[in-house]
């Protein structure tokens, strides 16, 4: 479980996060939604410690991120996996080397155990037979799945995904969503996904927070979002004619 | 992983520079010999002085300083653009989230590799520069016997020590300055290019200034 208590973050005079509270539970896909520029990515990067927050608390199962020393923070990070918007695969390494990177750094596994773990992760994301290829030889959707395989290689307790569907066609996006939901339930992870893809919201949103101008403007489930009367969420979710029609049918 | 990164950087920053360093050193050595001969064309000055002047120019200045300036362009832009691209494509963030210290994983092996290999490159450059001078003498600028005699007469081994001290310092400056500009890129592809240029300019200026300071400290 991750508890977020009243976090603030500014860049210079510009306050991006203006006091957000949230609780992300284990074994479910938690979604952060909001318009571009609303502060979603800063929020997600603050959660993993890539941005130091100005005030507030981020607590990982009783461990407040801000009060950890370097060693404790490093240890916590080995419990995290992250899928970046642009995948962030190491382009000079093969797929297998990408997936085993953290294992090489932090585990005592033998070479064959690491290979087995890489193969397991790659097969889990439905990508057999690509271990010796380089990221540039794969399609966008395949690269995204490699990024997920890398993120779960250390068997993390916490999985963070920044816009996992960006740049993907709708069919591949659904495959990625389903995959994230499956591995979250299968491995009992606390998964936090940053998205503005409404298919994801409806398909896999177990808990959703809507951020507007750096503040939490709404929270609920995927079902709640179809029925809410919150003007902010209605304005955001039903901005397209298609979703207006879906709302009408509901 | 760190050993592997070191070996990879050794190849990228050091071994891959062998070709350009060799070509430049041979031709500059030959040209220095020809120009010195042209300027010392006096019956009162023995021909072997040409070889002495060539040797000292190559050991004291050309190999350690000019080759390091060339490497600042080749290696410095490579380091800054590689790290800059990793920054904008979030690969550095990915390392940090994994719990890896990106600076120590990405920069320390580069510094170690170049500080280790730059002296080898510079020694090779000195040797090839003198081979270039010898080839110029074979071409008729002066007798090869006078050239060989001039290379060895009044040789001061401390000049090699001085050159190598400069080489270590220049290697450290090239990598650390270029890595700084690459590591802290903010923005996208344009900023990567801008910072790669800044890295080359800044490390070149740092080499020139530190060259003066080291010369003042070590030779005066």
Q: How far is A76 from chain B (nearest CA, A)?
A: 8
Can you give the residue ranges of every domain in chain B? 2-219
**Alpha-carbon radius of gyration of chain A:** 18
B135: which 2 tokens?
């080839």
Q: Collapsing DSSP states into helix, strand and coil, what is residue A94?
A: coil
Q: Using CA atoms, how far apart are residues B26 and B196, in angstroms rounded to an integer?
A: 29
Can you give the residue ranges of every domain in chain A? 2-79+156-249, 88-155
Give, for A245, the enclosing helix (H) or strand (E). helix A241-249
Which among A107, A89, A87 is positioned nearest to A97, based on CA atoms?
A89
3-state secondary structure chain B: CHHHHHHHHHHHHHHHHHHHHHHHHHHHHHHHHHHHHHHCCCCCCCCHHHHHHHHHHHHHHHHHHHHHHHHHHHHHHHHHHHHHHHHHCCHHHHHHHHCCCHHHHHCHHHHHHHHHHHHHHHHHHHHHHHHHHHHHHHCCCCCHHHHHHHHHCCCCCHHHHHHHHHHHHHHHHHHHHHHHHHHCCCCCHHHHHHHHHHHHHHHHHHHHHHHHHHHHHHHC
Do residues B141 and B37 touch, judged by C-beta distance below 8 A?
yes
Top pLDDT among A114 and A246 is at A114
pLDDT band at A248 (very low <50, low <70, confident <90, very high): low
At residue B51, the pLDDT reads 94
A2-11 vs A14-24, strand pairing mode? antiparallel
At residue A204, the pLDDT reads 87
| B91 and A CB contact within 8 Å | yes
CB pair distance less than 8 Å for B93 and A84 = yes
Taking CA–CA distances from A47, the nearest residue in chain B reads B97
CATH of domain A2-79+156-249: 3.40.50.300
Rounded alpha-carbon distances, angstroms, from residue A241 to A195, A226, A248, B3? 20, 15, 10, 57
| DSSP code of residue A136 | G
Rounded alpha-carbon distances, angstroms, from residue B31 to A34, A115, A116, A179? 66, 56, 59, 66
Residues in chain A: 250
At residue A250, the pLDDT reads 58
At residue A108, the pLDDT reads 87
At residue B135, the pLDDT reads 96
Please give the backbone phi and psi of residue A243, each rounded to the nearest 5 degrees, phi first.
Answer: -75, -25
Q: Which residues of B touch A194 (CB under 8 A)?
A: none
CB pair distance less than 8 Å for A88 and B1 = no
Q: How far is B181 from chain A (nearest CA, A)?
A: 20
Taking CA–CA distances from A88, the nearest residue in chain B reads B91
Taking CA–CA distances from B8, the nearest residue in chain A reads A92
Q: Best residue in B12, B86, B94 to probe A by mutation, most A CBs within 10 Å? A: B94
pLDDT digit string, tens, across residues A140-173: 889 999 999 999 999 899 999 998 888 788 888 8
Q: How far is B87 from chain A (nearest CA, A)?
A: 9
pLDDT band at A127 (very low <50, low <70, confident <90, very high): confident
Q: Which residues of A touch B89 (CB under 8 A)?
A: 86, 88
Residues of chain B with pLDDT below 50 are none
Q: How far is A161 from chain B (nearest CA, A)?
A: 12
| B100 and A CB contact within 8 Å | yes
pLDDT digit string, tens, across residues A99-110: 999 998 888 889
| B90 and A CB contact within 8 Å | yes
pLDDT band at A247 (very low <50, low <70, confident <90, very high): low
Q: How far is A198 from chain B (nearest CA, A)?
A: 25
Please give the backbone phi and psi of residue A24, each rounded to the nearest 5 degrees, phi first.
Answer: -105, 125
Least CB–CB distance from A90: residue in B91, B96, B99: B91
> Does A246 score more than 70 pLDDT?
no
Taking CA–CA distances from B90, the nearest residue in chain A reads A88
Q: Using CA atoms, how far apart are residues A59 and A5, in angstroms rounded to an integer?
A: 8
Q: Based on the number of CB atoms within 10 Å of its own CB, is A206 exposed (0-12), middle (13-18) or buried (19 or more)?
A: middle
Q: Using CA atoms, how far apart are residues B102 and A74, in angstroms rounded to an integer?
A: 12
Q: Using CA atoms, how far apart are residues B154 and A31, in angstroms rounded to an integer?
A: 77
What percent of chain A has a predicted confidence (pLDDT) above 90?
Answer: 51
Q: How far is B1 from chain A (nearest CA, A)?
A: 7
What is the residue whose two structure tokens read 């300071």? B213
Burial pattern A4-37, b for ≥16 Cβ within 10 A else e, equals beebbbeeeeeebbbebebebeeebbbbbbbeee
| Torsion sign (Cα): B21, B23, B24, B27 | positive
pLDDT digit string, tens, across residues A32-52: 998 888 899 999 999 999 999
At residue B214, the pLDDT reads 96
Q: Determine how many CB atoms are found less than 10 A away from the CB of residue B77.
A: 20
Mean pLDDT throughout A180-193? 91
**Alpha-carbon radius of gyration of chain B:** 20
At residue A233, the pLDDT reads 80
CB pair distance less than 8 Å for B94 and A78 = no
Q: Best residue in B3, B79, B84, B90 to probe A by mutation, most A CBs within 10 Å? A: B90
Taking CA–CA distances from A86, the nearest residue in chain B reads B89
Q: Which residues of B touch A93 (CB under 8 A)?
A: none
DSSP per-residue string spanning A48-86: HTSS--SEEEEEETTEEGGG--HHHHHHHHTTEEEEBTT
| B1 and A CB contact within 8 Å | yes
Least CB–CB distance from A104: residue in B1, B8, B91: B1
Do residues A229 and A221 touch, judged by C-beta distance below 8 A?
no
At residue A249, the pLDDT reads 60
| B96 and A CB contact within 8 Å | yes
């Amino acid at each position: 479980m991750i508890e977020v208590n009243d976090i603030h973050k500014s860049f210079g005079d510009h306050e991006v996060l203006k006091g957000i509270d949230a609780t992300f539970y284990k074994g479910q896909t938690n979604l952060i939604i909001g318009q571009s520029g609303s502060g979603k990515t800063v929020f997600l990067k603050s959660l993993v410690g890539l941005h130091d927050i100005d005030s507030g608390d981020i607590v990982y199962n009783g461990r407040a991120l801000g009060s950890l020393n370097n060693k404790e923070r490093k240890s916590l990070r080995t419990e995290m996996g992250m899928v970046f918007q642009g995948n962030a695969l190491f382009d000079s390494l093969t797929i297998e080397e990408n997936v085993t990177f953290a294992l090489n750094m932090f585990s005592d596994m033998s070479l064959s155990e690491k290979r087995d773990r890489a193969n397991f992760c790659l097969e889990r994301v439905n990508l057999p037979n690509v271990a010796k290829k380089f990221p540039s030889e794969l399609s966008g959707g395949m690269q995204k799945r490699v990024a997920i395989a890398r993120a779960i290689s250390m068997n993390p307790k916490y999985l963070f995904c920044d816009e996992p569907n960006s740049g993907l066609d709708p069919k591949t996006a659904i495959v990625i969503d389903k995959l994230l939901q499956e591995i979250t339930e299968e491995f009992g992870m606390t998964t936090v996904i940053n998205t503005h893809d409404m298919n994801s919201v409806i398909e896999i949103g177990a808990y959703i927070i809507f951020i507007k101008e750096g503040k939490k403007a709404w929270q609920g489930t995927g079902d709640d979002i179809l029925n809410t009367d919150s003007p902010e969420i209605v304005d955001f979710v039903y901005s397209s004619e298609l979703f207006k029609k879906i709302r009408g049918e509901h | 992983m760190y050993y592997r990164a070191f070996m990879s950087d050794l190849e990228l920053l050091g071994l891959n520079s062998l070709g350009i360093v060799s070509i430049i050193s041979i031709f500059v050595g030959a040209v220095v010999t020809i120009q010195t001969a042209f300027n010392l064309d006096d019956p009162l000055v023995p021909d072997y002085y040409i070889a002495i002047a060539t040797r000292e120019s190559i050991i004291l200045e050309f190999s350690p300083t000019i080759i390091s300036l060339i490497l600042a362009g080749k290696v410095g832009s490579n380091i800054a653009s590689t790290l800059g691209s990793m920054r904008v494509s979030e690969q550095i963030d990915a390392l940090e989230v994994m719990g890896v210290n990106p600076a120590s994983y990405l920069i320390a092996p580069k510094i170690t590799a170049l500080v280790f290999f730059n002296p080898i490159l510079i020694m090779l450059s000195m040797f090839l520069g003198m081979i270039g001078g010898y080839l110029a003498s074979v071409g008729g600028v002066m007798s090869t016997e006078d050239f060989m005699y001039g290379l060895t007469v009044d040789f001061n081994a401390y000049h090699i020590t001085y050159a190598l001290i400069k080489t270590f310092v220049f290697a450290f400056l090239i990598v650390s300055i270029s890595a700084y500009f690459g590591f802290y890129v903010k923005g996208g592809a344009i900023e990567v290019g801008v910072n790669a240029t800044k890295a080359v300019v800044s490390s070149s200026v740092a080499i020139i200034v530190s060259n003066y300071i080291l010369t003042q400290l070590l030779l005066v």
